[in-house]
Structure 1
Amino acid sequence: MTERVPVLQIGQVLLVSIQTDLDDQSVMLLQDDLAAKVVETGAHGVVIDITAVDIVDSFVGRMLSTIASISRLLDAQTVVVGMRPAVAITLVELGLSLGGVRTALSLDKGLRVLEQARADAMLESDALSMSLTGLNGFPPDSAAGL
């Protein structure tokens, strides 16, 4: 029987700590569980800790990228933390760039990456609101026509 990877919630961040090498079925279950949990909790960030992972094959590498894409579509950023040098080398040798996946060396640094991404998104949202309403609360063109 395939073991499920637990998904823990810490505030608005979901933490996935992978403690064993994953088989294909485990990765597929994790993808489904994580997507459901992002929707259920409204989390804005996902941290996938792979410190204990010794081996990554091409399927698992692609699925990490897919999980990040799914999370992004559900309004959550993903950071993979704790990647060992051998895993990074294997991913490069397999030609997998993990596009769209942020990485950090430690859980602490990964959480800081998510905090910064959230702050940047809020500033961007505020700037967009200002440009749409203008400084006086009216759309820029309507204020000129008064």
Structure 2
Amino acid sequence: MNGGPALVSIMRQGSTLIASVHTALDDSELVRFEHDLVDQIGEHRSRGVIIDVAALDVIDSFAALTLRRIAEMARLRGALTVVVGIQPAVAFTMVQLGMGTGNVPTALDLEEGLQLLAEQALPAGPSRSSTAGDGSR
């Protein structure tokens, strides 16, 4: 984003992108992050996106809206998004202010986020064919 330390890192693990937000982002940085992440979804043909916000002690209404927008753009590009690491105080404040992540799935941490993505991928994956010939009907 600029010449200083990275505010966000985006790494690829298989068909999943993991975006870690390292510090609070202003509105223009959030928009830049949104564009960068959506571009990388197409570039890497990602099927899943995890946005890790564990380092944030505040998520304002614009940030919550941006997370929902990212998830919708990712969905339109064929990827499921999971937000992980929302701190307890942040969750409390978001609920008190009537903000939320909409229908964007959340998980406690990166491990649970990866597990959630794996579970979401099962219905379209090999499990359907593995049960088709098991003779149970």
TM-score by shorter chain over 0.5? yes
In structure 2, distance between residues paired with 1:37 and 1:100:
22
CA RMSD of aligned residues (A): 2.1
Consecutive unaligned residues of structure 1, counting only runs of 5 or more, are: 131-146
- Determine which of 79, 104, 112 is the counterpart of 1:101: 104
Alignment partner, residue 76 of structure 2: 73
The 2-side partners of 1:117 and 1:55 are apart by 29
What does 1:112-123 align with in structure 2 at a 5 Å threshold?
A: 112-122=115-125
Following superposition of structure 1 onto structure 2, how do residues 1-146 of structure 1 map, counting pairs within 5 Å?
A: 5-122=8-125
Q: Counterpart in 1 of 2:135?
A: none
Q: Is the 8 A contact 2:7 2:25 kept in 1?
A: no
Whole-Å separation in 1 of the counterparts to 2:103 and 2:76: 12
Aligned CA distance change for structure 1 residues 63 and 9 (closer, same or farther; 3 Å) = same
d(CA) in 2 for partners of 1:117 and 1:69? 16
Aligned length in residues: 127
The structure carrying a bigger helix percent of its residues is 1
| Native 8 Å contact 1:46 1:76 kept in 2 | yes
Query: Is the CA contact 1:4–1:29 (under 8 Å) kept in the aligned structure 2?
Result: no
Task: Give the AA of the match of 1:101.
Answer: V
| 1-structure distance, mates of 2:34, 2:124 | 24
Shift of 1:26: 1.1
TM-score by length of 2: 0.84
> Bigger radius of gyration, 1 or 2?
1
Instruction: Output the CA distance in 2 between the equivalents of 1:4 and 1:84.
Output: 18
